[in-house]
Amino acid sequence: MESSPVSSSSPPSSVFSFDLPSAPHSSDHDQQPSLRTVTHLEQLRVEEKVAEIYRILNDASPHTKTIMMELWRDNHILFLSRGLNQLGPNFRILDASRPWLCYWIIHSMSLLGESLDIEVENSIIEFLSHCEDKQGGYGGGPGQMPHLATTYAAVNTLITLGSDAALSSVNRDSLHKFLLRMKDSSGAFRMHHAGEIDVRACYTAISVASILNIMDSELVVGLGDYIIRCQTYEGGIAGEPGSEAHGGYTFCGLATMVLIDEVDRLHLPSLIDWVVFRQGVECGFQGRTNKLVDGCYSFWQGGSLSLIQTLLPIAEKQTQSPLTSIEHQTLEGNSDGSTSQVQNPENEDMGTEKGDDIGFRFIRMGTRVAAPLFHSVALQQYVLLCSQVLEGGFKDKPGAHRDYYHTCYCLSGLCVSQYSFSKTPNSPPPSRAMLGPYSNLLEPIHPLYNVLLDKFYRAHEFFFGMKKRGTI
């Protein structure tokens, strides 16, 4: 297969779709096709391409090796800022995902430590306010219906901008009403009015409710029951009950359960076992059992394992007790059994014991073990050598084209693997935790929301420091 190392920018075929189309099947394979299945053949083809890259790395001089493992910051920033300013006509298929484009680009820039001009920042705030619906929530573009996924993207973009103007531009009252309108009787959420129900919808709703401090019992009720029904016999979490365990939904389901303080209701030992087995010989992660490696799962799977590092005491308790009788154990270590902690209407200050302040407490727990459960250096190798496009941007796998989605999630995955040996999420990693020069180090994130950690703190101060909304 011919594959040009210089790939032009091209949008993914669908949005927040964890699974992009695999490359067409090659017929000139030297194996006996009759003895191999489709899965096996496609896997071998990818393994060969990746092995070739690693062979070149191994045979390279120390100087070339360093260059190969370098993060090409300037080129990435150039690629990202170009997209912020102008996108070609073939991006029309992302016309209902423009807040996503903002988030993928702005979050990637923030990971790279790049700050924006005040005029650019104001343009983003202004544009997103054009996507905001009068009845609450953000749509995929001006005049479109509000949608949970683009609401998540818009809110995370504004939090990443971080200024008072950005944070105060969100209409929290109407957003809260929008979230309630999207709540289904099953406990889960719909993506939009009369839209599809799945675990992404649950995560995006709860993530914004949590970070904006508009969480309440009505949003949480029944949600944990729904997510539990999505944990499959394999251990990972599916998009909806009965479907196949999947990296993207596993992250969304796990993060949701942490944010509503019911994570101990998942069976964590089998979830961990499933996730760690998704890292393959290519060094990157696949999204599902026996599927091909893909750079975006560096975050969906790597991010889950980053969360797991903080949750290990709960997982360990589950390993010690029989499978069928898992006691309720909250992040605070008591066994309340109810979700009542999540709502705590009286507390309006920034206390650290509040149940509705889990995003904050999660970071402060400080119980992370010193080593991640996955091979974080190998993951960096996949991202830097197989996903990185030297002209800027990241891609799914060798032979694929770069896009903003993969740029965002490859960088986010690179970030969680760089900090995976840090005792606290923001302490500088030891050099053994890093692949390539130390200058590759990205800014640390809050893994529950995937926004920069210091931007999270800023938002926390802003939304939890203020008086809580009167309606709760």
Partner 1 sequence: MLSGEDEWVPFSRRPEWSDVKPVPQDDGPNPVVPISYSDEFRETMDYFRSIYLSGERSFRALSLCSEAIELNPSNYTIWHFRRIVLEALDADLHAEKEYVNNIALRNSKNYQIWHHKRWLAEKLGPEAAEEELAFTEKIFAVDAKNYHAWSHRQSVLQALGGWQKELDYCDKLLREDVFNNSAWNQRYFVITKSPFLGGLQEMRESETRYAVEAILSNPENESPWRYLRGLYKDDPNLLICNNQVSEVCLKILKRKQNIVLALSLLLDLLCHGFQPISEIRSAVEALRISESEPSTSSLANTICGILGLVDPMRSNYWAWRRSHLPSEVC
Give the type of residue at 205.
Answer: A
Q: C-alpha angle with apex 63: 284 to 422, nearest 5 degrees?
A: 45
Q: Please tell me whether residue 396 binds Zn ion under the rule CB under 5 A.
A: yes
Distance CA 142, CA 84 (A): 16
Window contacting Zn ion (CB under 5 A); options: 127-135, 349-357, 395-403, 425-433:
395-403
Q: How far is CA 18 from the centre of its chain?
A: 10
Q: How many CB atoms lie within 10 A of CB 84?
A: 17
Q: Which residues, 343 to 372, sit near partner 1 by CB under 8 A?
A: 369, 371-372
Distance CA 419, CA 442 (A): 9
Residue from 152, 249, 297, 382 carrying the catalytic annotation: 297
Hey, what are 112's tokens?
């790279």
Q: Please tell me whether residue 296 binds Zn ion under the rule CB under 5 A.
A: yes
In angstroms, give the least distance from the CB of 400 to Zn ion.
8
Q: How many CB atoms lie within 10 A of CB 178?
A: 24
In angstroms, give the least distance from the CB of 367 to partner 1.
14
Partner that binds at residue 310, options partner 1, Zn ion, none, CB closer than 5 to 8 Å by kind: none
Non-local (6+) Cβ contacts of 381 within 8 A are 54, 69, 283, 435
Is residue 49 annotated as a catalytic residue, yes or no?
no
Pick from 259, 276, 307, 384: which binds partner 1 (CB under 8 A)? 276
Residue from 202, 283, 296, 408 carrying the catalytic annotation: 296
Is residue 291 annotated as a catalytic residue, yes or no?
yes
Query: What's the Rg (C-alpha) of the chain?
Result: 21
Q: Please tell me whether residue 282 binds Zn ion under the rule CB under 5 A.
A: no
3-state class (DSSP) for residue 138: strand
Q: Please tell me whether residue 147 binds partner 1 under the rule CB under 8 A.
A: yes
Q: How would DSSP label each residue in 327-347?
A: PP--TTS----SSGGG--TT-
Q: Please tell me whether residue 124 binds partner 1 under the rule CB under 8 A.
A: yes
Distance CA 363, CA 354 (A): 14
In terms of DSSP H, where are the helices of 132-171? 148-161, 164-168
Give the type of residue at 195.
Answer: G
Inter-residue long-range contacts of 340-349, CB under 8 Å, 24+ positions, other chains counted? 340/217, 341/261, 342/215, 342/217, 342/220, 342/260, 342/261, 343/215, 343/216, 343/217, 343/220, 343/472, 345/468, 345/472, 348/467, 348/468
Q: Please tell me whether residue 158 binds partner 1 under the rule CB under 8 A.
A: no
Pick from 52, 74, 126, 218: which binds partner 1 (CB under 8 A)? 126
Pick from 44, 67, 96, 472: which binds partner 1 (CB under 8 A)? 96
Nearer to partner 1, 183 or 288 (CB): 288
In angstroms, give the least distance from the CB of 406 to Zn ion.
6
| 405 sits in which H/E element | helix 404-418
Nearer to partner 1, 57 or 120 (CB): 120
Non-local (6+) Cβ contacts of 305 within 8 A are 272, 275, 276, 372, 373, 374, 416, 420
Is residue 403 annotated as a catalytic residue, yes or no?
yes
Q: Please tell me whether residue 141 binds partner 1 under the rule CB under 8 A.
A: yes
Nearer to partner 1, 195 or 343 (CB): 195
Q: Please tell me whether residue 77 binds partner 1 under the rule CB under 8 A.
A: no
Q: Please tell me whether residue 71 binds Zn ion under the rule CB under 5 A.
A: no
Q: Please tell me whether residue 291 binds partner 1 under the rule CB under 8 A.
A: yes
Q: Please tell me whether residue 274 binds partner 1 under the rule CB under 8 A.
A: yes
Hey, what are 445's tokens?
């994130």
The CA-to-CA distance between both ends of the chain, in Å, stands at: 59
Dihedral of the CA atoms 337, 338, 339, 343 (nearest 10)? -120
Is residue 288 annotated as a catalytic residue, yes or no?
yes
Q: Please tell me whether residue 316 binds partner 1 under the rule CB under 8 A.
A: yes
In angstroms, give the least distance from the CB of 14 to Zn ion.
11
Nearer to Zn ion, 21 or 430 (CB): 21
What residues pair up with 286 in beta bridges, in sequence order? 293
Backbone angles phi, psi at 266, to 5 degrees: -80, 155
Q: Which residues, 171 to 200, sit near partner 1 by CB under 8 A?
A: 191-196
Is residue 294 annotated as a catalytic residue, yes or no?
yes
Residue from 45, 98, 246, 402 carrying the catalytic annotation: 246
Q: Please tell me whether residue 38 binds partner 1 under the rule CB under 8 A.
A: yes
Nearer to partner 1, 101 or 358 (CB): 101
Residue from 107, 147, 278, 288 carrying the catalytic annotation: 288
Q: Please tell me whether residue 288 binds partner 1 under the rule CB under 8 A.
A: yes
Is residue 265 annotated as a catalytic residue, yes or no?
no
Q: C-alpha angle with apex 433: 431 to 437, nearest 5 degrees?
A: 50
Nearer to Zn ion, 356 or 396 (CB): 396
Is residue 446 annotated as a catalytic residue, yes or no?
no
Hey, what are 135's tokens?
């009845």
In angstroms, give the least distance from the CB of 466 to partner 1.
27
Nearer to partner 1, 144 or 339 (CB): 144
Binding mask 10-49 for Zn ion (x = CB under 5 A): ----------x-----------------------------
Q: Which residues, 374 to 393, sit near partner 1 by CB under 8 A?
A: 374-375, 378
- Give the residue numbers annotated as catalytic, written as ranges: 246, 288, 291, 294, 296-297, 396, 403, 406
**Binding stretches for Zn ion (CB under 5 A):** 20, 294, 296, 396
